[in-house]
Amino acid sequence: MTPRGRPRGGRRGPGRPVGADAEQTRERIVQAAYEVVNERGYAATTFQEIAKRTGLSRPTLNYYFASREDLYRALLQRAHEVVTSCIRIAKQHDTTLDRLRAYIDAVVAVWQRDGAVVGFLVNARLESYRHPDLPAATVAATRGFLGELITGAVDRGELPPHTDQASLVELLYAMLWGMGAYCGWQRRPVDVEVIAKQLQSVIGDGLLPVVDRDHRLGGRDTRGDTRGGVGGAP
């Protein structure tokens, strides 16, 4: 025992940091892995490249993650937590459009803090096609949220009962994914927040005008007032 009553620590083995050092090392690995997967895809991601970017040895990487599959699952888990957090924020709002806008704003906020994670969310969709055996919880969570959103809008009369809900969910998902793909793959700086606001305007003014107008007019049923809009007169 030391004079202060603490056990004398032995020498740490190579590649095995403890405590705060361990958390920092794990975070370095995760961030580098996000970058490599985003740039090269899952199939071309190697521990060798991640070790090169982090300055860590292969044994150190294997101490934290036994295989590439284990590492990818860890990346997916964190990305899934980001998605569910954005969904929780969105569900604090009442109307369909407010929830959708809040979700987009929440994703943009994450992008500004950690663009690699949001970029990974975009790439995870592609990887789920290329490698069907990989988990795809983030895709399911986003689709589930959009499905609940549209079903709720129909149930509340914000959208007409004959709305093709499945197609509308796919369209919304494609628009969100497309915005992420465009912003994430640009080699020049892009203002994600401005692009997101434009997307919200397109959705509110064109895709779901009945929902937005009904909200602005205090809930009055206006479904028959607009000619040619979603839910409007033919």
Residue 11: pLDDT over 50 = no
- pTM over cut 0.85: no
Cα–Cα distance measured from residue 154 to residue 138, given in angstroms and rounded to the nearest whole number = 25
By C-alpha distance, which of 180, 101, 100 is closest to 145?
100
Q: For the residues 87-112, what does the mean pLDDT come to? A: 92
Q: Could you tell me which CATH number the domain at 20-66 has?
A: 1.10.10.60
Whole-number pLDDT of residue 134: 72
Of 136-140, 167-171, 198-202, which one has max mean pLDDT?
167-171
Q: Could you tell me which CATH number the domain at 71-205 has?
A: 1.10.357.10
Whole-number pLDDT of residue 18: 53
Residue 228: pLDDT over 50 = no
Q: For the residues 180-202, what does the mean pLDDT come to? A: 78
Q: Give yes or no for a contact between 123 and 37, defined as CB atoms under 8 angstroms apart.
A: yes
CA 168 to chain centre: 19
Residue 161: pLDDT over 80 = yes
Q: Which residues contact 73 (CB under 8 A, 6 or more apart)?
A: 135
- CATH 1.10.357.10 residue ranges of the chain are 71-205
- CATH 1.10.10.60 residue ranges of the chain are 20-66
List the single range of 148-152, 168-172, 187-191, 193-197 with lowest mean pLDDT.
Answer: 187-191
Q: For the residues 190-208, what does the mean pLDDT come to? A: 80
**% pLDDT > 70, the chain:** 76
Q: Mind listing the pLDDT tens digit for each residue in 27-71?
A: 999 999 999 999 999 999 999 999 999 999 999 999 999 999 999
Confidence of residue 99 (pLDDT cuts 50, 70, 90): very high
Residue 74: pLDDT over 80 = yes
Whole-number pLDDT of residue 224: 46
